[in-house]
Structure 1
């Protein structure tokens, strides 16, 4: 089965809220969903495909923990991207390759299934991409769309 990255949605009264920066303003956006983990993973895969994003790898942290007699709530990292978006960022500043391809974490919490991803504006600041003409708002919009669709 192929898995794609998930984004977190915050719920308010059972409704999905807009993505929000995590505490500490560290560039992590998130959403929380009341939908079950496996459905969010499936919907994330579909949303990635529909947005033309290529899944490069998944890391099943929960399974890796269990394989080593450790406990961890279901947690997966999805690594995905689109070279048409990422390559110009790396051409601007090679160090951004440390944070690309994009990653999304999907994890089960007491509050629901949380999706988390890096805000591309934060990555631009972190790597000094301000002087480059990059479609950061478009990239952020795609990531938000993917997360919202996964969390439905």
Structure 2
């Protein structure tokens, strides 16, 4: 796992589509909603450009994000949660997402959303590990 500028990246044992499929299954199994799945590589192909496999999943639940927006409404710019599966130059696949504590710092969130931020951070670590196969050694 690597962390850079608020982004957490976990290496996946699976290809990009399967990683996102596994993430969809994991988050929906946890009672979260999937709002969108965006295939950036397909979009690039539509305009005649090349892009390594890259897919974005947007998901969440009002129970998790609402306390953040009640604290600082502009936190909604970073909600719902997003995760990006992407293939690097060496062919490794990564699943990356914004660290919830970094988002809290970015928006100056306070005590009223502290528990929600901690729950989002723990939940993301768990669902990303499951989707990437990092919980299976």
TM-score calculated relative to the size of structure 2: 0.89
Q: Quick one: distance in 2 between partners of 1:122 and 1:71?
A: 32
Structure 2 unaligned blocks of 5 or more: none
TM-score calculated relative to the size of structure 1: 0.81
Residue 134 of structure 1 aligns to a residue whose secondary structure is: helix
Output aligned runs, 1:12-51, within 5 Å: 19-22=1-4, 26-51=5-30
Moved over 3 A (4+): none
Q: Quick one: distance in 1 between partners of 2:91 and 2:45?
A: 22
1:127 aligns with 2:113: no
Q: Quick one: distance in 2 between partners of 1:42 and 1:147?
A: 12
The number of residue pairs the alignment matches comes to 131
Tell me if structure 1 keeps the 8 A contact 2:37–2:58: yes
What's the RMSD between the two structures over aligned residues? 1.3
Tell me if structure 2 keeps the 8 A contact 1:106–1:116: yes
Structure number with the higher helix fraction is 2
Residue 117 of structure 1 aligns to a residue whose secondary structure is: strand
Residue 111 of structure 2 aligns to a residue whose secondary structure is: coil
How far has the Cα of 1:38 moved from its partner?
Answer: 2.5
Tell me if structure 1 keeps the 8 A contact 2:60–2:81: yes
